[in-house]
């Protein structure tokens, strides 16, 4: 079974600085998808960024980028120029290739932005 591990229960960063959230996963599959979802205090999870495992190029969405290391099964999220609105729980998630329905989530990292 696939597992997703987020080893940082909480991270803190100064506003305008850069922070990296860690995620590792375990799978025997070669085709899969990885996601970072953000859960602000409103509780509604929002997709931040996604990565297809067959793509070597790291995904980027504005201030958010990932460092995808397939061999190491690592998928970290970098947030540049941190803003107060980035404060939230961040969940790493895995989806096997082939059209499976259920995502496997990590336990989340609580990101605090210090003004």
Partner 1 sequence: EPEVTQTPSHQVTQMGQEVILRCVPISNHLYFYWYRQILGQKVEFLVSFYNNEISEKSEIFDDQFSVERPDGSNFTLKIRSTKLEDSAMYFCASSQSRGFGEKLFFGSGTQLSVL
Q: How far is the CB of 80 from partner 1 (least distance, A)?
A: 22
Return phi, psi of residue 68, to 5°.
Answer: -100, 115
Q: Which residues bind to partner 1, rule: CB under 8 A? A: 4, 33, 35, 37, 42-47, 50, 52, 91, 93, 95, 97-108
Nearer to partner 1, 16 or 46 (CB): 46
Q: Buried b vs exposed e over 2-34: b needs ≥16 C-beta within 10 Å?
A: bebebebeebebeeeeebebbbbbebeeeebbb
Q: How far is the CB of 15 from partner 1 (least distance, A)?
A: 26
Nearer to partner 1, 101 or 115 (CB): 101
CB 48 within 8 A of CB 75: no
Q: How far is the CB of 107 from partner 1 (least distance, A)?
A: 5
């Amino acid at each position: 079974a696939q597992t997703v591990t987020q080893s940082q229960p909480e991270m803190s960063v100064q506003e305008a600085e850069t922070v990296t959230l860690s995620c590792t996963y375990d799978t025997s599959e070669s085709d899969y998808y990885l996601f970072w979802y953000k859960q602000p205090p409103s509780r509604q999870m929002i997709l931040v960024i996604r990565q297809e495992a067959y793509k070597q190029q790291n995904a980027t969405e504005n201030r958010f980028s990932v460092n995808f290391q397939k061999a190491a099964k690592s998928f970290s999220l970098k947030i540049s120029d941190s803003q107060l609105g980035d404060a939230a729980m961040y969940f790493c998630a895995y989806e096997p290739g082939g059209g499976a329905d259920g995502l496997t989530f990590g336990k989340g990292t609580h990101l605090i932005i210090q003004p």
